[in-house]
Structure 1
Amino acid sequence: MSESRWHVSPLMLQLIDVAVAVTLFFVALDGLMDAQAQNYLRSPQPYLGWHPQDNGLLSLAAAATTLPVILRRRWPLPAWALTTLGQVYSMGPVLHIQDSGLTIGGLAAYLLCLYTVSARHGWTVSIVVGAASTVWAAAHADADIVLPLLVPAVVAVGRFAQARRRTLARLETQAEQALAAQAVAEERLRIARELHDVVAHHMSAIAIQAEAVRIQADGDAVLLAAGLADVRAVSLEALSDMRQIVGALREAAPPGLERLAELVESARAAGLTVEVSGPPDGIAAETGAAAYRIVQEALSNAMRHAPGSAVSVKVRRTDAALLVHVANRPPARPPTSGGEGGHGLKGMRERVTLLGGTLEAGPTPEGGFAVTASLPDRRTP
């Protein structure tokens, strides 16, 4: 539903109809009593001290023409039929008050029920009911042509209201479908980003660690077995993370800075020398998840492009932001990767932009590389 439209509960609508029906009842009753007085004053010998009195017939006529308004939303056609019968009764000879028996209250109730029929039913019912109402109005409106013209106008307004309601419903459905498609696209992008972060980090760690094992073992079976065990542990961790993302991405919360120690241990196992400062407590989940991914991508880049280097990871809080700074020194040995760029920095910038932060990344004067992100501070209690 559109936020610009009012949302009224069915009970409230029913209470409004009850209030309208009761108001029209008293208006119609007053009109009938006034008509009774006018009819008496036209008698041959009127008594000037006479006052109109309701002997029950006037209230019955007023109720018959107005109270069906209460039923108009649930049963539009029966409500219109009841108001029609009420008008016939009020015009009957039993009242002996006026020729037409029409009152402002009764006429308003009749037209309101007629409008509801045309607004709720199809063209066939609307045309039949509108034609019958027009014939009835022409037959009982004496020389007044307003009522016969008013009936088709009310039917036209009801048809217009129905067409507008259907158009709004169609537009709302289209808007909901567009939002759903946008949500699917955003979810796909988030899944792709999560998979990239996990796969890139762990695959880099496995590749660098395997190379380090080959160099460090140098033919020693014991060192080779220990190194391969570490590679196997990193591989199993990668599989676990990917299962978590692919199998339960919607339900599981993304990793945050509470897993920073695991991330650092993985980088150290791949041959990096990592020093950590932070993180502070009370970081919001979305900010912590973004900071975690930034550190993860920065360490992955260090593994690929600066193997064996010393890396400094600092996560601290300022007055208005959470600062994440990851800097690596020049590589201790030549990188095994080709050095081509990937999507890591782009993904980091997207995460930071979504949170309204800033990101700076580039080489350092010492020959290393540094990433500095400033994320809005959304503290948790």
Structure 2
Amino acid sequence: MIDRASRVAGRITPWALGTTVFLLSMASTAGSMGVRSALPLPVLAAVAACCGVAAVFAGHRLWPLVAVGAVAYAWLVMWPAALVASYYAGTRLRRRRDLWLYVGGAVTLYALGGLISHRSEGYRALVAGTLVNALLMGGAMLGLPLVAGLWVRARRQVLDAMREQAGQLLREQVLRAGQARDQERARIAREMHDVVAHRVSLMVLHAGALEVNAPDTPTAEAAALIGRVGREALTNLREVLGVLRSPDPVRGPQPTLADLDRLLDQSRALGIVVNRHDEGEARPLPPTAERTAYRVVQEALTNVHRHAGDAETDVYVRYRPTELEVLVRNRPPTAANGDLPGSGWGLVGLRERVELVGGRLEAGPRDGGGFQVLAGIPVA
């Protein structure tokens, strides 16, 4: 809105200035704001129009306005164009040589105009032909607008410098924040590697040893399953560490609904009855939606293992027209189960993940016992 208003003002201001110069020039030749001229009205209107047109384009070309203002003042004591030219000279002439050239030319012009007026007769000789009046008019039409233009230019330069300094400070702040973020990500990656990866590696090694020295087949199979799950956890952990260490990491393959049965088989191998129910017509979905659905089921099954033990669990995958609905519900456990330790942030993080893709998540106990997690993930 502000930029649009500035553009509109930028287009209107030159024409408003040109119109003002034209009207003031006509008023000066009529005698109400200057020296009355005996020339025909069309001639006066043409000169005033030339002054107005030159003022319109003074923001781009200064010297036509200077030339027109000089002729109009020396010939008719028509002062508006000369006054505007002095102001633009202060704002636009950056080289000292050009500025002094303009001042010298303007002083010469006012001296010439005063001489012409001095040799004239009547009111013009009285107004612009005396030395005092010539000096006063020169100061008013040369000195004051020139000083005003120089002040405006200096103020613009100060504001531009302040904006540049503020932009530089902002860029430095963003750079420092990015460096601090990268350092914190690297620190978190090191902590995760030192703590989590080390412990999971030990678990995999012990599972492998148990598989080799297992006294019976069920124990060997359970140890093999623990080893596979641990190695997958290490793989996932390496991907997470890669995300933390690099601002633009190359991600490995992400899980989709095609990997869901393998996830359910891992829970079944631990002795939990897991039933999968697909409803609706299966179809290709956006990778983000499938990955989110997989993570919902993964977190829900993790909570079943942690809090419900051997409770039978149902997993529903429902293909709706505009969303993919995932429901994981477990029945009450048949035996007492001590809760395994957890971070306490699983469902919180899961809710954030689902809401980031525009979905919804509901989680809570069921009537009659058990727990359920319901997620709706938009796919349209």
Moved more, 19-28 or 153-162: 19-28
1:70 corresponds to which letter in structure 2?
H
The Cα of 1:265 is off from its aligned counterpart by 3.0
The Cα of 1:293 is off from its aligned counterpart by 2.1
Instruction: Assess, with a 3 A threshold, how the Cα gap between structure 1 residues 239 and 167 changes in structure 2: closer, same or farther.
Output: same
Aligned to 2:66: 87
The Cα of 1:276 is off from its aligned counterpart by 1.6
Tell me if structure 2 keeps the 8 A contact 1:274–1:312. Answer: yes
Tell me which of 243, 247, 250 is aligned to 2:242. 247
The Cα of 1:348 is off from its aligned counterpart by 2.2
Q: Are 1:373 and 2:363 counterparts? A: no
What fraction of aligned residue pairs are identical, expressed as a percent?
21
1:114 corresponds to which letter in structure 2?
G
User: If each structure's helix is expressed as a fraction of its own residues, which one has the higher value?
Assistant: 2
Q: Are 1:314 and 2:324 counterparts? A: no
Aligned to 1:263: 263
The Cα of 1:219 is off from its aligned counterpart by 0.9
Instruction: Assess, with a 3 A threshold, how the Cα gap between structure 1 residues 334 and 341 changes in structure 2: closer, same or farther.
Output: farther
Instruction: Assess, with a 3 A threshold, how the Cα gap between structure 1 residues 31 and 349 changes in structure 2: closer, same or farther.
Output: closer
Deviations 1:97-146 (Å, cap 9, x if unpaired)?
245x6453x654553453356xxx8xx98xx99x969x969977717847
Tell me if structure 1 keeps the 8 A contact 2:83–2:142. Answer: no
1:267 corresponds to which letter in structure 2?
S
Instruction: Map residues 135-174 of structure 1 onto 2, 5 A cutoff.
Output: 142=137, 145=140, 148-164=143-159
Instruction: Map residues 276-295 of structure 1 onto 2, 5 A cutoff.
Output: 276-278=276-278, 280-281=282-283, 283-295=285-297
The Cα of 1:312 is off from its aligned counterpart by 1.0
Tell me which of 90, 94, 103 is aligned to 1:114. 90
Matched positions, count: 330
- Per the normalisation by structure 2, the TM-score is 0.56
Tell me which of 60, 66, 91 is aligned to 1:70. 60
C-alpha distance in 2, partners of 1:49/1:169? 52
The Cα of 1:33 is off from its aligned counterpart by 11
Tell me if structure 2 keeps the 8 A contact 1:267–1:299. Answer: yes
Aligned to 1:97: 75
Tell me if structure 2 keeps the 8 A contact 1:308–1:332. Answer: yes
Tell me if structure 1 keeps the 8 A contact 2:69–2:79. Answer: yes
Aligned to 1:357: 360
Deviations 1:155-174 (Å, cap 9, x if unpaired)?
44445555555656666777
2:372 corresponds to which letter in structure 1?
V
Tell me which of 215, 219, 225 is aligned to 1:219. 215
C-alpha distance in 1, partners of 2:332/2:255? 29
Q: Where does structure 2 lack aligned partners over 5 or more consecutive residues? A: 111-132
Aligned to 2:113: none
1:329 corresponds to which letter in structure 2?
R
The Cα of 1:326 is off from its aligned counterpart by 1.2
Tell me if structure 2 keeps the 8 A contact 1:91–1:98. Answer: no
Aligned to 1:76: none
- Per the normalisation by structure 1, the TM-score is 0.56
Q: Are 1:326 and 2:328 counterparts? A: yes
| Secondary structure in 1 matching 2:271 | coil
C-alpha distance in 1, partners of 2:378/2:278? 17
C-alpha distance in 1, partners of 2:313/2:326? 13
Tell me if structure 2 keeps the 8 A contact 1:297–1:344. Answer: yes
The Cα of 1:7 is off from its aligned counterpart by 8.2
Q: Which has the larger radius of gyration?
A: 2
The structure, 1 or 2, with the larger RCO (C-alpha pairs under 8 Å, 6+ apart) is: 1
Moved more, 248-257 or 22-31: 22-31
Tell me if structure 2 keeps the 8 A contact 1:66–1:110. Answer: no
